Amino acid sequence: MHSARTSPRSSKGRSIAAHAILLTYTLIALFPVFVIVINSFKSRKAIFAEPLMPPMPGNWDMVGYTTVLQQGDFFQYFLNSMTVTCASLFFVLLFGAMAAFALSEYRFRGNLLMGLYLALGIMIPIRLGTVAILEMMVAGGLVNTLTALILVYTAQGLPLAVFILSEFMRSVSDDLKNAGRIDGLSEYRIFFTLVLPLVRPAMATVAVFTMIPIWNDLWFPLILAPSEETKTITLGSQVFIGQFVTNWNAVLAALSLAIVPVLVLYLIFSRQLIRGITAGAVK
Amino acid sequence: MASGKAVRWHIGVFLAPAVLVYTAIMIIPLFGTLNLSLFGKGEGGPVFVGLANFATLFGDPRWSEAFWNALGNNLWFFVIHMLVQNPIGILLAALLSSPHLRMAAFYRTAIFIPTILSFVIVGFVWKLILSPIWGIAPGMLDAVGLKALFAPWLGKAEYALTALALVSVWQFVGIPMMLIYAALLSIPDDVIEAAEMDGLGAWAQFWKIKLPLILPSIGIISILTFVGNFNAFDLIYVAQGALAGPDFATDILGTFLYRTFFGFQLQLGDPHMGAAIASAMFGIILLGVCIYLFAIQTRLRRYQF
C-alpha cells in the first residue's frame, strides 16, 4: 500500500475498484426510477409479465399518460409547486444570508443567543406546531392560498440556511470587507456586492437542501392548501395514486411526470453546486 | 469589524426578516403546541390539567406500551442510518474525491437523485419492487438462484422496520456523501502533498489525515441524521399507512403522533395527547442535540487553513 503512489499498475487497479463501487451504487440508486419510467410507457399486460423489459414496439402503450393528462390538472399542480418552491427558496436565501451575515460579521450583545435561537429550528420539526399554524392561517384568511405554504416553508428553511451560511461567511476574508469599508461602502453594499458573491457555493448547497423538502412535502399542502386550485404536484400525485390504485399505467405515468420537474430543478442547481464546491476547494 | 459607538441599525435590518418570520411561524406555534399538552378536554372547553397527559402517556399501559414501542423502533431506525447510511456516504465521498477520477460528476449527480424524490414516489416504487406478487425482487433473486432468500419483507413484523430503514438509507445517502465530499475537497493540497512526501499511501492518508479533518462534518451529519430520524413520518406513512403495520412493527414516534393527533379508523383525534407526544419528541430531540453540542462538538477541534 505504501508504494501505491509510485506504482502505476496498483493505481490503475485502485481506479478500477473505485469505478466498480461507484457504478454499482449508481445502479442501485437509479434502478427504482428506471423501473417506474420504463413501465410507464408499456401496456398493462407487459408491466405485469415483464417488468424489467424496456419499452419497445410490441409492448408500447401511452394510455397511462393520456389518462393522467385528461384526468388531473397536472399543469396547474406543477405551476403551484414551482411558485411555492421558488418563492420560498428566494426568501430563505435572502433572509437567511442577511441574518447569517449579521451573526458572523458583527459583535453585539445577544449575538450568541440569537444564533442559538435561530439554530433551535434545525432540530424542531415545524410540524409539531401544525395545529397552531392552521389556527393562525384560518384567522388570517390564508387557508387554501399558496402564501400560507410559502410562509411556512420560509420559516422551515431559515434555520439551516442561517447555520450553514454563517459558517461559510466566517471564512470570508476580513481584509476584503475592511478594504470595502475604507473605500466608503455601506454595510449593505459590502454584504450584497462583496460577501454574497463569495458565498455563492454555500448558497447553492443551501438551495438544494431547502428546495427538496419543500417540493416533496405532503403534510402542509394537505392541511393548509388542499383545494383544487392550490394543490401541489406531490399532493396531486398522492391523491391520484389513491384514486387510480388499480390503474397501474396511470399511476406510473403520474409518478414519472412528478419526477421530471424536480429532476430538472436539481440538475440546474447541482451544476452550480458542483462548480461552487470545486471553486471553494481550489481557493 | 464595525465597532462604531452609534446604534448600528444595519444589524437589526439584517436580522429582522429572518427573526420575524421564524418567530411568528415556527416558535410561537411550537409553544402553542407545548402549551396545549397541559390541557385536557373539559365540559365547556379545554381545562388545565397540568402534567396529567404525561402521566397517562407514561403510566397508563395502553399508552405507554405504544409509546415505548414507537421509541424503540425509532432508535433502531436511527441505528441503521448511522451504521449503514453514514459509512456508505463517507466511502462514496472518499472515492469521488480521489484525484483524476473520471465521471465523478456523473456519479455524484446520479447517487443524489433518490434524495430529491418525494416519499410518495419512493414508498410506491419500493412497495412494487418488494411485492411478492408483482415484485421485481423475487424475479431477480430467482435469476441468480437465491429465490429461497426472498420473503415479503414489508409484510413481516420482524423485517418490515429494517426494510423501511434501508429504503430510507437508499433515499438519503446522498446527503452525507455531498457534505463529506465538500469537506474532503476543502482539505488543502499542501496537506495531502506533505503526506505523500512522507510516503503515506492512499489508505493511510485517509485514516490518518483526511478522517480527522472531516470529523466535524461527520458530527454535523450525525446530528442531522438523529433529528431527521426522530421526526420521520412520511416514508412509513406512504408505505404502511398511519397504522404502521404489520401490527405496529414499523410504528415510530411520527406515526404515533399522527394517529393520536388526527385520529384513525374509529378512534377520534386527541389534540391534547397528541401535543403531549409532540412535547416528548421535542424533549428527546433536545436531549440528543445537547449531547451533541456539549459532549461531541466541543471536543472536535476546528482546523483553520
Say how far apart CA B238 and CA A222 lie, in whole Å: 14
Is the pLDDT at A83 greater than 90? The verdict is: yes
Structural domain span for residue A12: 8-61
Phi/psi of residue B48, nearest 5 degrees: -70, 125
Question: In terms of domains, do A78 and A152 share one?
Answer: yes
If one counts every other C-beta atom within 10 angstroms of the C-beta of residue A102, the result is 28
Question: In terms of domains, do A56 and A76 share one?
Answer: no
Contact check, Cβ <8 Å, B15/A241 = no
Count the domains in chain A.
2
Question: In terms of domains, do A144 and A184 share one?
Answer: yes
More confident residue, B168 or B187: B168
pLDDT of residue A145: 94
If one counts every other C-beta atom within 10 angstroms of the C-beta of residue B298, the result is 9
ipTM (interface pTM): 0.83
Question: In terms of domains, do A268 and A166 share one?
Answer: yes
Q: List chain B residues with CB under 8 Å of A237.
A: 118, 120-121
DSSP alpha helices (H): ranges in chain B?
Answer: 9-22, 28-36, 52-59, 61-80, 86-96, 104-116, 119-130, 136-143, 157-172, 174-185, 189-197, 202-205, 211-230, 234-240, 253-262, 271-290
Q: List chain A residues with CB under 8 Å of B3.
A: 107
Question: In terms of domains, do A70 and A57 share one?
Answer: no
pLDDT of residue A4: 43
Q: How confident is the model at residue B305 (pLDDT cuts 50, 70, 90)?
A: very low
Q: How confident is the model at residue A283 (pLDDT cuts 50, 70, 90)?
A: very low
Which amino acid appears at position A1 of this protein? M
Cell representation of residue A277? 464546491
Q: List chain A residues with CB under 8 Å of B182.
A: 205, 277, 280-281
Cell representation of residue A274? 458542483
pLDDT digits (tens, 9 = 90+) for A12-33: 777 888 899 999 999 999 999 8
Give the CATH number, domain containing residue A137.
1.10.3720.10
Burial of A40 (0-12, 13-18, 19+ CB in 10 A): buried
Q: Which of A61, A79, A96 is the last residue of a domain?
A: A61
Q: Is the residue at A99 inside a domain? A: yes
Residue A159 preceded by cis peptide, ω within 30: no
Q: How confident is the model at residue B165 (pLDDT cuts 50, 70, 90)?
A: very high
Query: What residue has cell string 420521520?
Result: B232
Tell me, yes or no, if B136 comes closer than 8 A to chain A by beta carbon: yes
More confident residue, A173 or A272: A173
Say how far apart CA A281 and CA A182 lie, in whole Å: 29
Beta bridge partners of A42: A60
Q: Is the residue at A188 inside a domain? A: yes
Question: DSSP letter at B301?
Answer: P
Say how far apart CA A237 and CA B238 lie, in whole Å: 12
Q: Which of A18, A35, A61 is the last residue of a domain?
A: A61
Residues above pLDDT 90, as percent of chain B? 26
Question: In terms of domains, do A72 and A54 share one?
Answer: no
Positive/negative CA dihedral, A275, B177, A90, A76 = positive
- Nearest-CB residue to B116 (from A32, A181, A263): A263
Say how far apart CA A133 and CA B260 lie, in whole Å: 18
Cell representation of residue B88? 456508505
Residue of A nearest to B126 (CA): A32
Positive/negative CA dihedral, A154, A156, A158, A160 = negative
Say how far apart CA A214 and CA A210 lie, in whole Å: 7
pLDDT of residue B164: 94
If one counts every other C-beta atom within 10 angstroms of the C-beta of residue B68, the result is 11
Residue of A nearest to B279 (CA): A128
Best of B28, B30, B225 to disrupt the A interface by mutation (most A CBs within 10 Å)? B30
pLDDT of residue A149: 96
The per-residue DSSP string of B26-70 comes to: IIHHHHHHHHHTTEEE-SSSEEE-TTHHHHHHHHSHHHHHHHHHH
pLDDT of residue A135: 80
Question: In terms of domains, do A32 and A85 share one?
Answer: no
If one counts every other C-beta atom within 10 angstroms of the C-beta of residue A230, the result is 22
pLDDT of residue A54: 80
Question: In terms of domains, do A53 and A93 share one?
Answer: no
DSSP alpha helices (H): ranges in chain A?
Answer: 8-40, 44-49, 63-71, 74-105, 111-123, 130-139, 146-170, 174-182, 187-189, 196-198, 200-216, 219-224, 233-243, 248-282
CB-side neighbour CA atoms (13 Å) of A267: 9
Q: Are A68 and A249 in contact (CB under 8 A)?
A: no
Q: Is the residue at A3 inside a domain? A: no
Whole-prediction pTM value? 0.83
**CA-to-CA separations, A43 to A37, A55, A59, A74, B175, in angstroms, rounded:** 13, 9, 6, 22, 36
Where are chain B's structural domains? 1-36, 52-299
Question: In terms of domains, do A161 and A223 share one?
Answer: yes
How far is A198 from chain B, CA to nearest CA, in Å? 15
pLDDT of residue A263: 83
More confident residue, A66 or A92: A92
Arithmetic mean of pLDDT over chain B: 85
Tell me, yes or no, if B30 comes closer than 8 A to chain A by beta carbon: yes
Question: In terms of domains, do A28 and A102 share one?
Answer: no
Is the pLDDT at B84 greater than 50? The verdict is: yes
Query: What residue has cell string 429494517?
Result: B162
Say how far apart CA A255 and CA B78 lie, in whole Å: 28
Question: In terms of domains, do A45 and A99 share one?
Answer: no
Phi/psi of residue B131, nearest 5 degrees: -65, 135
Q: Is the residue at A152 inside a domain? A: yes
The string over A236-271, giving b where at least 16 C-beta atoms fall within 10 Å of a residue's C-beta and e elsewhere, is bbbbbbeebeebbbbbbbbbbbbbebbeebbeebbe
pLDDT digits (tens, 9 = 90+) for B196-219: 888 887 788 888 888 888 888 888
Least confident of A23-27, A97-101, B119-123: B119-123
What architecture is domain B52-299?
Answer: Orthogonal Bundle (1.10)
Question: DSSP letter at B302?
Answer: P
Which amino acid appears at position B259 of this protein? R
